[in-house]
Amino acid sequence: RQAEYRRLRAKPSVTKDGVEVALQMNAGLLVDLPHLSESGAVGVGLFRTELQFMVASSFPRLSDQQNQYTQVLDAAGGKPVTFRSLDIGGDKVLPYLRAIHEENPAMGWRALRLGLDRPGLLRTQVRALLRAGAGRELKLMFPMVSEVEEFHRAKELVDRELRHSRRHGHGVPDVIRLGAMIEVPSLLFQLEELMQAVDFVSVGSNDLFQFFNAVDRGNTRVADRYDTLGTGFLRALKAITDAAARHHVPVTLCGELAGKPLEAMALVGIGFRSLSMSPAALGPVKAMVRSLDLGRLQARLLPRLEPGHPDKDLRQFLRQFAVEQ
Ligand code: PEP
Ligand code: MG
């Protein structure tokens, strides 16, 4: 199997009926980057910048952050890297940042909320990213956006930093693309406005599923209680790909779902053409893509998402389809 996946590395990720599905990898530290060529991923779809902060014993300074991002971009060798701004707070505790007690940390003062309330933190990170990205393309997305207005405020902060960098004679990126993670269900009802505001979106299905079903992603008693391939959740995801297509906005999914072949097959079926996953998952998912008759899957899957369809066991249907197709 391993040898088979290795052979697939250089092969295109295209379905039997000729549809390309871009497979990217998730990373969080410089040591992850060698996996980029080993796995055959076309880019880093999610770079979790908080990892550098979590392994440090004090706040990484501007220069430390800039160094790290420069090295990451160098190691990627021209393949695109999508950085995610700090997703700390909640359960991602920094020993040197005074922790506040919260009853529900996952829904607490974390990620972009913290970034907007403590703009010094976010500003330093953005400054480091702009300098590291000088003369190349910089892709940056914000975690835990709940309202489109929060994205606008984050974008404003980036614009201000950009002006500051220019004024002080620092090099800046040739192109900057700013995106929002879709991982809070409220965004599902603001898709039109969101798509008009962003350059791209990325679905954080781990958090989106947790908040969608109100099940703690880390609580084993309830985490598996509802199916990630359930009708409700798949409809929600399809609403995202539909809106993205209407607005010609690139959309990726970077949660754990993307790395499971059956789930990834469903995702491609409802319109995802880009998935980001752990490097080890790339081989199995590419094997799935290359053996998929997408037209046939769509013809059979999409009617099952319509109200009133008698067959509601989508996981069973997809398993059957994967075996028989
Ligand atoms: C997610 O929520 O799906 C995601 C990709 O981010 P994280 O797992 O880091 O919260
Ligand atoms: Mg998340």
Could you please report the per-residue DSSP string of 241-292? HHHHHHTT--EEE-SGGGGSHHHHHHHHHTT--EEEE-GGGHHHHHHHHHT-
The closest residue, in CA terms, to atom 6 on ligand 1 is: 204
Q: Which residue has the tokens 């008009």?
A: 196
**Which residues are near ligand 2, the ion (C-beta closer than 5 Å)?**
183, 204, 207
pLDDT digits (tens, 9 = 90+) for 267-305: 999 999 999 999 999 999 999 999 999 999 999 999 999
User: Looking at the predicted structure, is the pLDDT value of residue 224 above 80?
Assistant: yes
pLDDT digits (tens, 9 = 90+) for 100-149: 889 999 999 999 999 999 999 999 999 999 999 999 999 999 999 999 99
The structure tokens listed for 177 are: 């693309």
Distance 143 CA to ligand 2 centre (A): 7
Distance 158 CA to ligand 1 centre (A): 22
Residue burial 257-271, b: 16+ Cβ < 10 Å; e: rest: bbbbbbbbbbbbbbb
pLDDT band at 93 (very low <50, low <70, confident <90, very high): confident
Q: Is the beta carbon of 89 within 6 A of some atom in ligand 1?
A: no
Percentage of the chain surpassing pLDDT 70? 100
Using the atom order of ligand 1, give the atom closest to the CA of residue 203. 3
User: Mean of the pLDDT values across residues 169-173?
Assistant: 95
User: Looking at the predicted structure, is the pLDDT value of residue 161 above 90?
Assistant: yes
pLDDT of residue 109: 92
Interface ipTM: 0.99
Mean pLDDT of the chain: 96
The structure tokens listed for 121 are: 């933190």
Q: What CA–CA distance (Å, rounded) separates 305 from 1?
A: 34
pLDDT of residue 25: 98
User: Mean of the pLDDT values across residues 217-244?
Assistant: 95
Q: What CA–CA distance (Å, rounded) separates 277 from 43?
A: 11
Residue from 87, 88, 237 whose mutation best tests the ligand 1 pocket (most atoms within 8 A of CB)? 87
pLDDT band at 175 (very low <50, low <70, confident <90, very high): very high
User: Looking at the predicted structure, is the pLDDT value of residue 76 above 90?
Assistant: yes
Q: Cβ(188)–Cβ(239) under 8 Å?
A: yes
Q: Cβ(181)–Cβ(203) under 8 Å?
A: yes
The closest residue, in CA terms, to atom 1 on ligand 1 is: 204
User: Looking at the predicted structure, is the pLDDT value of residue 1 above 90?
Assistant: no
**60-74, 102-116, 175-189: the lowest-pLDDT one:** 102-116
User: Looking at the predicted structure, is the pLDDT value of residue 99 above 80?
Assistant: no
Distance 81 CA to ligand 1 centre (A): 16
Could you please report the per-residue DSSP string of 106-156? GGSS-HHHHHHHSHHHHHHHHHHHHHHTTTSEEEEEESS--SHHHHHHHHH
Q: Is the beta carbon of 50 within 6 A of some atom in ligand 1?
A: no
pLDDT of residue 138: 98
Q: Which residue has the higher pLDDT, 308 or 253?
A: 253
Q: Is the beta carbon of 263 within 6 A of some atom in ligand 1?
A: no
User: Mean of the pLDDT values across residues 71-92?
Assistant: 94
Using the atom order of ligand 1, give the atom closest to the CA of residue 205. 3
Q: Cβ(25)–Cβ(36) under 8 Å?
A: yes
Q: What CA–CA distance (Å, rounded) separates 16 from 181?
A: 30
Distance 178 CA to ligand 1 centre (A): 18
pLDDT of residue 205: 98
Q: Cβ(287)–Cβ(236) under 8 Å?
A: no
**Does this model's pTM top 0.90?**
yes
Coil vs helix vs strand at 202? strand
